[in-house]
């Protein structure tokens, strides 16, 4: 008991000391105060920076000595967070850089594909503007639910058609709120909020989206059932509801924002939803191989076909590279490296071994159902026969008595 009181006294003195030390240490003092109130043994602390000031390092050592577990996180810098460094300037630069390498003259914008025809030697792509392109291979990289809007001649295999017709896309509304300062950090908060579905809070999650230059912002998502409800409301209603919820969780400072912007991906013609498509029950077991398997001269890409980071930009890049190697292996195998050919063949062999055709699976399932039904009928007959025997025995003994 005496040790506990001594720890509380030392901790309170340390909190006062931290508040007098400066802004960053004052934030840690608030963390310590919250830890005392909640009777928890951990606090958030400075990142793993080798240039940490001596005073902060001494504070960390004091925390450890008092048996406080210190939860550290990496500094958001180009050296320790390369993903953030790569996205500086926006993710659109990935498309722009690729377009520059391919050549802007080879890219047609505003030319939605409406028809893909193919035979044993060629493929022909037709756009909404009636433009046609004859080629040896086609890579379709749009999401499955949009790929179904394209007319294929001849028709795609039934397994592929059934798969894509049963892969609905999610529904998300993304919003971003900008501020003068990241006030939540001053309060010792990360800016991440995970909330359950309710009428008072439209979003399900938010994250700190402060830029490397220090422009403070929070980004979040209205998803699922909430998105279906809020998509019919006007933007100003969504803004009011989002900001009100942020005030509830982060304090009154959240009401003093610079700008609010949201994007409902479901109303975008060539998105139709967000973030990715999901398979209906049973499809992953019986129809999954058709997701990547080429259909003649048509190859499939897009993040939904990725084997890693499916649904993310990294998955989209991986899927694009895989589809490109598939096409080159058929048209110009000499340009591929041995490693690329080996990876492709290994991937194809793995999928072949893992592939389970719907017809064979359904046959086994049908057989199991028939056997189960037969056993059920047999059991019922046995029970009926047993009941008749018991009835006769009971009747015999009744008459005897």
Using one digit for the tens of pLDDT, what is the confidence trace for 334-369? 888 888 888 888 777 766 665 555 555 545 545 554
246 with 288, same domain: the answer is no
212 with 229, same domain: the answer is yes
> How far apart, in Å, do the first and last CA atoms of the chain sit?
82
- Residue 7 has a pLDDT of 58
Residue that has been written with the tokens 């191989």 in this structure = 289
Task: Tell me how far apart the alpha carbons of residues 314 and 162 are, in angstroms, rounded to a whole number.
Answer: 27
The residues, ordered by sequence, that sit 6+ positions from 225 with a Cβ below 8 Å of its Cβ are 197
- Residue 66 has a pLDDT of 65
Residue after which a domain boundary falls, among 71, 97, 124: 71
Domain count, the chain: 5
CB 239 within 8 A of CB 260: yes
- Residue 156 has a pLDDT of 96
Task: Tell me how far apart the alpha carbons of residues 89 and 97 are, in angstroms, rounded to a whole number.
Answer: 12
Establish if 356 belongs to a structural domain.
no
Considering the entire predicted model, what is its pTM? 0.65
- What are the structure tokens assigned to 267, written together? 């109303």
**220-243 burial, b for 16+ CB within 10 Å, e for fewer?**
bbbbeebbeebeeeeeeebbebbb
Task: Tell me how far apart the alpha carbons of residues 265 and 251 are, in angstroms, rounded to a whole number.
Answer: 29
Establish if 353 belongs to a structural domain.
no
* Positions in the chain short of pLDDT 50: 23, 38-51, 71-86, 362, 365, 369, 389-398, 400-401
- Residue 87 has a pLDDT of 57
Half-sphere exposure of 217 (CA within 13 A, CB side): 16
Beta-carbon neighbour count of residue 190 at 10 Å?
12
Establish if 217 belongs to a structural domain.
yes
- Residue 288 has a pLDDT of 86
Task: Tell me how far apart the alpha carbons of residues 342 and 395 are, in angstroms, rounded to a whole number.
Answer: 79
Task: Tell me how far apart the alpha carbons of residues 27 and 21 are, in angstroms, rounded to a whole number.
Answer: 10
Establish if 148 belongs to a structural domain.
yes
85 with 152, same domain: the answer is no
Report the CATH number that the domain containing residue 317 is assigned in CATH.
Answer: 3.50.50.60
What angle do helix axes 2-19 and 23-38 make, rounded to 10 degrees?
A: 150
- Residue 349 has a pLDDT of 72
252 with 181, same domain: the answer is yes
The residues, ordered by sequence, that sit 6+ positions from 56 with a Cβ below 8 Å of its Cβ are 24, 25, 46
User: What single-letter DSSP state applies at residue 297?
Assistant: T
- Residue 319 has a pLDDT of 93
- What are the structure tokens assigned to 32, written together? 């310590």
206 with 67, same domain: the answer is no
31 with 155, same domain: the answer is no
93 with 114, same domain: the answer is no
pLDDT, tens digit (0-9, with 9 covering 90-100), for 149-198: 999 999 999 999 999 999 999 999 999 999 999 999 999 999 999 988 77
- The Cα angle at residue 298 between residues 296 and 301, in degrees rounded to 5: 135
Residue after which a domain boundary falls, among 71, 98, 128: 71
Residue after which a domain boundary falls, among 71, 93, 123: 71
158 with 286, same domain: the answer is yes
237 with 383, same domain: the answer is no
CB 185 within 8 A of CB 73: no
Half-sphere exposure of 8 (CA within 13 A, CB side): 9
113 with 141, same domain: the answer is yes
Establish if 347 belongs to a structural domain.
no
Report the CATH number that the domain containing residue 242 is assigned in CATH.
Answer: 3.90.660.10
- Residue 284 has a pLDDT of 86
87 with 134, same domain: the answer is no
Task: Tell me how far apart the alpha carbons of residues 359 and 286 are, in angstroms, rounded to a whole number.
Answer: 9
- Residue 62 has a pLDDT of 66
* Residue ranges making up the domain that contains 238: 172-267
**Bridge partners of residue 113, in order along the sequence:** 127
- Residue 171 has a pLDDT of 93
246 with 192, same domain: the answer is yes
CB 177 within 8 A of CB 243: yes
- Residue 264 has a pLDDT of 94
Q: SS3 for 220?
A: strand
- Residue 394 has a pLDDT of 45
- The Cα angle at residue 310 between residues 339 and 109, in degrees rounded to 5: 90
Establish if 64 belongs to a structural domain.
yes
């Amino acid at each position: 008991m005496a040790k506990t009181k001594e720890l509380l006294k030392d901790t309170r003195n340390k909190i006062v000391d931290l508040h007098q030390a400066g802004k960053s240490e004052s934030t840690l003092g608030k963390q310590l105060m919250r830890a005392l109130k909640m009777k928890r043994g951990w606090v958030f602390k400075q990142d793993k920076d080798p240039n940490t000031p001596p005073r902060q390092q001494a504070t960390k050592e004091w925390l450890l000595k008092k048996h406080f577990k210190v939860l550290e996180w990496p500094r958001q810098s180009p050296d320790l967070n390369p993903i953030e460094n790569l996205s500086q300037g926006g993710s659109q630069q990935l498309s722009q850089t690729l377009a520059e390498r391919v050549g802007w003259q080879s890219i047609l914008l505003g030319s939605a594909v409406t028809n893909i025809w193919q035979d044993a030697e060629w493929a022909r792509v037709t756009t909404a503007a009636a433009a046609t392109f004859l080629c040896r291979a086609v890579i379709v990289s749009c999401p499955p639910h949009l790929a179904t809007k394209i007319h294929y001649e001849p028709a795609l295999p039934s397994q592929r058609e059934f798969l894509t017709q049963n892969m609905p896309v999610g529904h998300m509304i993304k919003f971003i709120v900008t501020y003068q300062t990241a006030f939540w950090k001053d309060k010792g908060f990360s800016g991440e909020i995970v909330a359950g579905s309710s009428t008072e809070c439209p979003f399900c999650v938010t994250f700190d989206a402060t830029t490397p230059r220090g422009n403070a912002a929070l980004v979040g998502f209205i998803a699922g059932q909430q998105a279906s409800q809020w998509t019919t409301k006007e933007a100003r209603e969504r803004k009011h509801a989002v900001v009100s919820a942020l005030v509830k969780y982060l304090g009154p400072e959240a009401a003093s924002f610079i700008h609010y912007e949201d994007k409902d991906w479901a109303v975008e013609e060539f998105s139709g939803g967000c973030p990715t498509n999901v398979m209906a029950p049973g499809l992953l077991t019986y129809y999954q191989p058709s997701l990547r398997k080429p259909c003649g001269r048509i190859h499939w890409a897009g993040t939904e076909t990725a084997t890693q980071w499916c649904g993310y930009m990294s998955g989209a890049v991986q899927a694009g590279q895989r589809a490109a190697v598939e096409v080159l292996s058929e048209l110009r195998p000499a340009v591929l490296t041995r490693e690329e050919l080996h990876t492709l063949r290994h991937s194809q062999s793995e999928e072949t071994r893992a592939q389970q055709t719907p017809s064979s699976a359904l046959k086994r399932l049908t057989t199991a159902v028939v056997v189960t039904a037969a056993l059920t009928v047999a059991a019922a007959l046995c029970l009926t026969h047993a009941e008749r025997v018991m009835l006769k025995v009971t009747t015999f003994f009744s008459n005897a008595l």
